[in-house]
Amino acid sequence: MVTIFQPQQQSSASLTRYTAFQRRCGVHKGANLVRPTTPCLRVTNILPVRNNSIQYQKLIFLSTMAVLWWSFNLAILTNPALSQTSIAVSKKEKPTSKPTLAPNLSPLPSTFNSENPPPESYSPAEFNYDDSKQFKVYRLNTGDGVNISVPKFSEFNTITNLDEEGNVVIPILGRIALAGLSLTEAEQKISYELGTRFIQLQPEVLVSLTTPRPANVTVLGEVLKPGFYSFVSGSPLTSALLAAGGTTNDADLRSIIVRRPLIDGSVLEEKIDFYTPLINSQSFPNFYLQGGDTIIVSQLEVGKDRNYDRSLIAQTTLSQQTINVRVLVPSNTGTAFRNLVLPNGSTFIDAIASLPPDDNLLVDNQVALLRFDPEKGGIVTQTLNTKEVIHGNIAQNIPLRNEDVIVVSRTLLGKIYNAFNVITQPIRSFFGFRAFFDSFLD
């Protein structure tokens, strides 16, 4: 609501404008105050707002045009058109110089050659079998007798044996499997079972071996009598070699392999060297047998016997103690056969000394030695002179081996060669070599 006062002292121009205002707004004449009508109030209130709106629109229009003009100058006028060619501003190129090495630095090495070979790839160190501790651990199995003691709880103490399934029966606790465990592992397992099922804390448990099971082992390879043997558990490895009749002349004592199966199906393997202690006059490695062990005596490979002293090994207790040498001599009734049992390591002169003085071997100067050579896979022949051996010719005094055959008389040797040509199957083993002479004598 607007209250309009009549002006008391105004100029003629003001009065004229006021009168026009009264007419436009419909105000009654007189000196009293009047209330303007609604249309007059709407007109007087809207006019200033419309004037301000026009000014704002002009301001926005001018600002927009200014921004567009600035963008036009920046994007179009400053960049060259497609038909124009830009003028490249020349830049001063810096002179390039080759890098020089410092005086104290050496140049890079040249390509690898014979004098400067490339570095070899990394090869891990060979496993040291002597450091293996698994073979020194005794593992329980069927037949072992154990003493189980719980110091603070005597009701669990017992002396029992592992049954065929590898279990033991402990009072109150019941049946516990101990097969494949060491004594320490058995103590830990029993303590855990007691602490879990009966006692609040895991008690101290002591397990000791009272009666070890027999050590049933298998001996294979270059031994005189390979097969199965039974020993007291904890026996040394040398006992197995001696029980098998000792090693043959072709055995490699540097490589004796022992394999031991575990309860989980895995197999431990250790390589033992007996040759080095013999050469250096040292004691043998401490290796003890357990049930299930397999011992394999390796064969001396071709080319690796240069530094291997067979004569020394033949005189030791590890090798077979005796050798069998066959002697074939002619007689009035046919062919005489003699089997000489000589100490291992004997030579040709030892065979001559074991014969009677009137033997044909001492009369005939030309004899032949037949031997099966596994390296060549066949029979080799060497001619020997008895008289030269007696007079001390070392070259003719060769060492003898097991299953050697000495043939006296060239006529008899010719018959043997004819028999070789008759047979259809070649001789490739000691068994075939022995079987041939057995059939020849028959």
The per-residue pLDDT for range 211-220, each reduced to its tens digit, is 999 999 999 9
Q: Residue 289: what pLDDT? A: 92
Instruction: Give the mean model confidence (pLDDT) for residues 15-36.
Output: 51
Q: Residue 209: what pLDDT? A: 94
Q: Residue 308: what pLDDT? A: 87
Instruction: Give the mean model confidence (pLDDT) for residues 8-27.
Output: 52
**CATH 3.30.1950.10 fits domain 138-211:** yes
Q: Do domains 138-211 and 322-441 have the same CATH topology?
A: no
The per-residue pLDDT for range 333-385, each reduced to its tens digit, is 666 678 888 988 888 888 888 877 766 666 666 788 888 887 777 788 888 88
CA distance 145 to 159: 7
Task: Evaluate the CA torsion angle 399, 401, 407, 408 in order and state its sign.
Answer: positive
Please report where in the chains the tokens 């291997």 appear, as a residue.
308
Q: What is the CATH number of domain 322-441?
A: 3.10.560
Tokens for 398, please give them.
């060769």
Closest CA to 327 of 405, 414, 437: 405
Q: Residue 93: what pLDDT? A: 54
Helix (H) or strand (E) holding 407: strand 404-408
- Secondary structure letter of residue 133 according to DSSP: -
pLDDT at 256 over 70: yes
Task: Assign 306 to helix, strand or coil.
Answer: coil
Confirm if 148 and 159 have CB atoms less than 8 A apart. yes
Q: How many alpha carbons lie under 13 Å from residue 124 in its C-beta half-sphere? A: 3
The per-residue pLDDT for range 121-165, each reduced to its tens digit, is 656 665 554 446 778 889 999 999 999 999 989 999 999 999 999
Phi and psi (nearest 5°) for 238? -60, -25
The per-residue pLDDT for range 296-337, each reduced to its tens digit, is 999 988 777 778 888 888 888 888 888 888 888 776 666 667
Q: Specify the pTM.
A: 0.59
Q: Residue 305: what pLDDT? A: 75
- Parse the chain into domains and list their residue ranges: 16-44, 138-211, 215-314, 322-441
Strands (DSSP E) contained in 120-263 are 145-149, 158-161, 167-170, 174-177, 206-211, 215-221, 227-231, 251-261
CA distance 180 to 138: 9
Fold of 215-314: Outer membrane lipoprotein wza fold like (3.10.560)
pLDDT at 389 over 80: yes
Share of the chain above pLDDT 90, in %: 29
The per-residue pLDDT for range 70-129, each reduced to its tens digit, is 777 666 655 554 444 444 445 555 555 555 555 555 665 566 677 777 666 656 665 554
The count of other CB atoms within 10 Å of the CB of residue 274 is 23
Q: How confident is the model at residue 285 (pLDDT cuts 50, 70, 90)?
A: confident
18-45 burial string, b = 16+ CB within 10 Å, else e?
eeeebeebebeeeeeeeebeeebeeeee
Task: Assign 283 to helix, strand or coil.
Answer: coil
CA distance 245 to 322: 9
